[in-house]
Amino acid sequence: MLKQQIEPRSPSPEKEGPLSKPGCSATYNFLKAPAAPLTAPHPTPKKITPLHRFPLSLHTREFKKRFYPDASIAEWNDWKWQVRHRIKDLKELSRIITLSGDERSAIEKHTGPLPVGITPYYASLLDLVDPTHGLRRTHIPVNGEYVRMPGEADDPLGEDHDTATPGLVHRYPDRVLFLTTGFCSTYCRYCTRSRMVGEAGGEYTFSTSQWEKAAQYIEAHPEIRDCLLSGGDPLTIGDDKLEWLLARLRSIKHLEFLRIGTKVPVVLPQRITPQLVRMLKRYHPLWMSIHFTHPDEITPEVAEACARLADAGIPLGSQSVLLKGVNDNVDTMKRLMHKLLTIRVRPYYIYQCDPVSGTSHFRTPVETGLEIIRALRGHTTGYACPTFVVDAPGGGGKIPLMPDYVVGRDGADLLLTNFEGGTYRYPDPEGTVGEAQNFLRANGMKHEAETGLYHQPDV
């Protein structure tokens, strides 16, 4: 594949951030003015009107008026203002949200990484009174975080073990995970990398010199064709530094495409500025995986952010973590998947919640994920059916799980069931698929239609 050689520019941290007024789009409506009479040598030019100003939903507007009355619309839609005014301590959180005793005591005792951090925009989506509200539970600590259950670990996926050079994880043969930063604009309480995010001066550090060493490692390994930028959140990095990194990676000839893993379009949609999008567009092929949790996150602001990215030719996929009491039911997940498609985001993965230390209150049985997939497949468009995976502890990688649609065998026929529960025959005279299911039934195991699993019958 032919690639344009792009020389990386030196990063300029002091120049990070938006380059134009918030709320202004790069798309303009150039309408032709009526032909002027020959006697009018200087016709008045038609006024240029921006087409896509950044939206502000009625709900968000009311929240801003109540809790940030001194902030202008321009300030609210400035991503840097949002980052500067993140809710980070008990005093500010209490000003906005009526905290439960459990939440208050958990915040008071917190030290180390994974601090409280919520953008004002995302706080507007949280229930201000109900501590059981799904999105609120994902971002406000409770004392369950301090309970470590068997099987949990600070680094359950073994990323540190597979680190080739600081910040670069090389687990799969042809791809790498590039950890760019330890900063997120908003911290999820079930974060897989809770050990390393949000703690300046902690054990994990990130710098452009570290980026360069990681790039040199990729250059020295021609089998690497795919690089996923993650963190922390790469889109919290300023435009100049982020472009330096993208250009540096794009200069590696055998690196075929880049991916960005982010939650910024969901928690800080104002970050998706026309300037950022124009810059990202220069580094195709570039893909983006966006972390969505609940259909309530899909607001006019988020729809606009995703539209800007999609219009720039960036394929968008979603990654959702299955969370107890948040999105662990068919109705919520189906609404999320349907809404994602309306904003041009393709549902990609549903993850079983990783066994990170202090996350047992978020984890569901694996059967829950299988039941959700069974209720989606065939009952709605295939585009709305993501892959359910367990990221295997200890560095085993993503393992996809599917309900079992194989009923068994009858002679030369394979017996299959469909989404409605009907049984169908497929001629498969030389096959062996289905023999295991026959064995299980012959030994008294019971088949559960909702998950496709077999289990001991009730005594």
pLDDT digits (tens, 9 = 90+) for 15-54: 333 333 333 333 323 233 334 443 444 455 444 434 447 8
Give me the pLDDT at residue 434, please: 93
Q: Write out the two tokens for 334.
A: 């189906």
Q: Are 224 and 218 in contact (CB under 8 A)?
A: yes
Mean pLDDT throughout 54-82?
96
Q: Which of 61-75, 160-174, 187-201 has the lowest mean pLDDT?
A: 187-201
Packed helices 274-281 and 239-250: angle between N→C axes, nearest 10 degrees: 10
Catalytic residue among 61, 68, 162, 172: 172
- Cα→Cα distances 177→169, 236, 260, 285, 347, Å: 5, 17, 10, 17, 21
Q: Does the CA dihedral 197-127-142-84 come out positive or negative?
A: positive
Residues linked to residue 399 through DSSP beta bridges, in sequence order:
390
Give me the pLDDT at residue 418, please: 92
Q: Which residue has the higher pLDDT, 21 or 378?
A: 378
Inform me whether the pLDDT recorded for 427 exceeds 80.
Answer: yes
Q: Which residue has the higher pLDDT, 30 or 281?
A: 281
227 is catalytic: no
Catalytic residue among 53, 104, 148, 171: 171
Inform me whether the pLDDT recorded for 3 exceeds 90.
Answer: no
Mean pLDDT throughout 394-419?
94
Buried b (16+ CB within 10 A) or exposed e, 276-304: bbebbeebeebbbbbbbbbbbbbbebbbb
The separation between CA 271 and the C-alpha centre of its own chain, rounded to angstroms, equals: 15
Give me the pLDDT at residue 203, please: 63
Residues linked to residue 228 through DSSP beta bridges, in sequence order:
177, 259
Q: Please give the share of the chain, as a percent, with pLDDT higher than 90.
A: 80
Q: Which residues contact 101 (CB under 8 A, 6 or more apart)?
A: none
Distance CA 306, CA 313 (A): 11
Residue type, 204: Y
Give me the pLDDT at residue 25, please: 36
Give me the pLDDT at residue 412, please: 96
346 is catalytic: no
Give me the pLDDT at residue 451, please: 74
Cis amide prior to 232 (ω within 30 degrees): yes
Give me the pLDDT at residue 274, please: 97
Write down the mean pLDDT value for the chain: 89
171 is catalytic: yes
Q: Which residue has the higher pLDDT, 260 or 51?
A: 260
Distance CA 409, CA 415 (A): 5
Inform me whether the pLDDT recorded for 260 exceeds 60.
Answer: yes
Inform me whether the pLDDT recorded for 5 exceeds 90.
Answer: no
Catalytic residue among 398, 410, 426, 446: 398
- Cα→Cα distances 126→33, 59, 137, 139, Å: 48, 11, 9, 9
162 is catalytic: no
24 is catalytic: no
Q: Which of 10-24, 202-216, 398-412, 436-450 has the lowest mean pLDDT?
A: 10-24
398 is catalytic: yes
Confidence band, pLDDT 50/70/90 cuts, at residue 63:
very high
391 is catalytic: yes
Inform me whether the pLDDT recorded for 231 exceeds 60.
Answer: yes
pLDDT digits (tens, 9 = 90+) for 142-179: 999 999 999 999 999 999 999 999 999 999 999 999 99
Q: Which residues contact 405 (CB under 8 A, 6 or more apart)?
A: 416, 417, 418, 452
